[in-house]
Amino acid sequence: MPDQPQKAQPAESKAAESKAVGSEAESNAEGKATESKAVKADKADEASPSGKKPGKWALDVDVKPDTGEPTRNEGFRFAAFGALLIVVLFAGYGLGRLNNGTPAPAAQTPSAAPTAINENMPHTHGATGAGTTTTAGAAVGGLSLSSDGLTLHPAATTFQAGKPQPLRFTVDATGGAPVTSYAIVHDKPLHLIVLRRDLTGFQHLHPEMAADGTWSVDLTLPAPGVYRMIADFTALVGGRQIATTLGTDLIVAGDYVPVPLPAPERTTTTGGLTVSYAGTPGTQAVQPLLMTVTGGAVEPYLGAYGHLVVMRQGDLAYVHVHPEQQLVDGKVKFWITAPSPGDYRMFFDFQVAGKVHTAAWTLRVS
Ligand SMILES: [Cu+2]
């Protein structure tokens, strides 16, 4: 949580408000937990209570790294497609999980051969239900407490501003028993994203799980308001791998002073580093997004050169995208498709000199 709010520098002349993003987080890149343990690495970025807006998605988009072609616009929509389609795509691209649901195996079509999750390939996580529609809308994650037979069950959702408190929750399977087996994805069995509804106060944490399936992590919510917690994981239930993203609200009583979403900018700073991106995400096709970090060499963090969480303003739909396995001309390359037109806040977690930082930008998709 500590953040170091920094201002984004207007790369261009957009003057807008720069937001303070910054924050780095602490991370522990600790070990990779093995199954059920969770490690925590966290970071908090944008801590600025002042300014961001909420909204997020979690999607993962996989794209074909080589071709410039997007695997499909649908990064976001994968979930929506039929399993076969999904399987085909993934198989072709070697992508890993789908957003929603189950990892490669389309959650839905059992007949499809389960694909292995290859977290080394660019891909997206997130969508909540593998079952989401097949329509064009992008399948986004984090909008529901339950999906695919799993239900997020927080022990408490009320916090006091600025005070560290334990956040505890379980993911209950049908029948109510907490899930205790999880696949390790990007070095962790569960990734937790927390941010306020105005898209400020972003934190990426890794709770630890007790033997009974209770996840816990110390959480400090800096200022009053309604926050969103989004758990991104792959549960192992009854022989199935259920990759999903569940979310719920966390409340901090007090006078909530929402921070306006900073204007779209392509360059920001965090931890003394300047981070910019190139690429224009749209809804029609998967587009490349290249992040350039100036001031330090980007190192692998949680199994990749970076992790990108994109949150949609208005509903906090969550999309989580992973980059190509190798740097491209020193840049971290993602492939992404927006689920809809609108404003989003992008949070790019990366590591330099052993420290995890988070750069954030406002993205306007038209
Ligand atoms: Cu994580």
CA 191 to ligand 1 centroid distance, Å = 4
Q: Please list the residues that pair with 158 across neighbouring strands.
A: 251
pLDDT for 341 equals: 95
- pLDDT, one tens digit per residue, over 311-339 is 999 999 999 888 999 999 999 999 999 99
Torsion of CA 333, 334, 338, 339, to 10 degrees: 180
Residue 76 to residue 140: CA distance in whole angstroms: 6
* Secondary structure of residue 361 in the 3-state scheme: strand
Task: Give the DSSP letter string of 8-58.
Answer: PP-SSS------B--EE------PPP-TT------EE----TTS-B-EE--
Residue 253 to residue 68: CA distance in whole angstroms: 47
* Secondary structure of residue 268 in the 3-state scheme: strand
CA 242 to ligand 1 centroid distance, Å = 17
Structure tokens that stand for 315 in this block = 């509903």
Average pLDDT across the chain, whole number: 74
Q: Please list the residues that pair with 342 across neighbouring strands.
A: 365
Please state whether the predicted TM-score (pTM) of the whole model is above 0.85. no
CA 231 to ligand 1 centroid distance, Å = 9
CA 279 to ligand 1 centroid distance, Å = 24
CA 58 to ligand 1 centroid distance, Å = 12
pLDDT for 123 equals: 57
Residues 6 or more apart whose CB falls under 8 angstroms from that of 176 comprise none
pLDDT for 302 equals: 92
Q: Which residue has the tokens 């992404």?
A: 336
* Secondary structure of residue 87 in the 3-state scheme: helix
Residue 361 to residue 352: CA distance in whole angstroms: 19
Using left for φ > 0, alpha for ψ between -120 and 50, and beta otherwise, residue 286 falls in beta
CA 283 to ligand 1 centroid distance, Å = 26
Residue 140 confidence class, pLDDT cut points 50, 70, 90: confident
Q: Domain limits of the chain? A: 1-366
pLDDT for 32 equals: 37
CA 60 to ligand 1 centroid distance, Å = 13
Residue 252 to residue 79: CA distance in whole angstroms: 33
Which DSSP helix (H) or strand (E) runs through 226?
strand 225-237
C-beta neighbour count of 285 within 10 angstroms? 17
Torsion of CA 252, 257, 259, 260, to 10 degrees: 130
- pLDDT, one tens digit per residue, over 22-81 is 333 333 333 333 333 333 333 434 333 433 333 333 334 333 344 334 433 333 443 333
CA 186 to ligand 1 centroid distance, Å = 7
- pLDDT, one tens digit per residue, over 252-266 is 999 999 999 999 999
Residue 179 to residue 43: CA distance in whole angstroms: 26
Flag whether pLDDT at 154 surpasses 60: yes
CA 111 to ligand 1 centroid distance, Å = 31
CA 125 to ligand 1 centroid distance, Å = 11
Q: Please list the residues that pair with 347 across neighbouring strands.
A: 309, 360
| Amino acid found at 177 | A
CA 188 to ligand 1 centroid distance, Å = 7
Flag whether pLDDT at 83 surpasses 60: no
User: In the chain, pLDDT over 70 holds for what percent of residues?
Assistant: 62
CA 29 to ligand 1 centroid distance, Å = 10
Q: Which residue has the tokens 């927390």?
A: 194
Residue 19 to residue 52: CA distance in whole angstroms: 7
| Amino acid found at 268 | T
- pLDDT, one tens digit per residue, over 90-128 is 322 322 333 333 333 333 333 323 333 444 455 565 444
Alpha carbon distance, N-terminus to C-terminus of the chain? 32
Structure tokens that stand for 46 in this block = 């944008």
Residue 355 to residue 341: CA distance in whole angstroms: 34
CA 201 to ligand 1 centroid distance, Å = 16
Structure tokens that stand for 107 in this block = 């959650």
Burial class (CB in 10 A: 0-12, 13-18, 19+), 330: exposed
Range in 123-127, 225-229, 244-248, 337-341 with the lowest mean pLDDT: 123-127
CA 27 to ligand 1 centroid distance, Å = 10
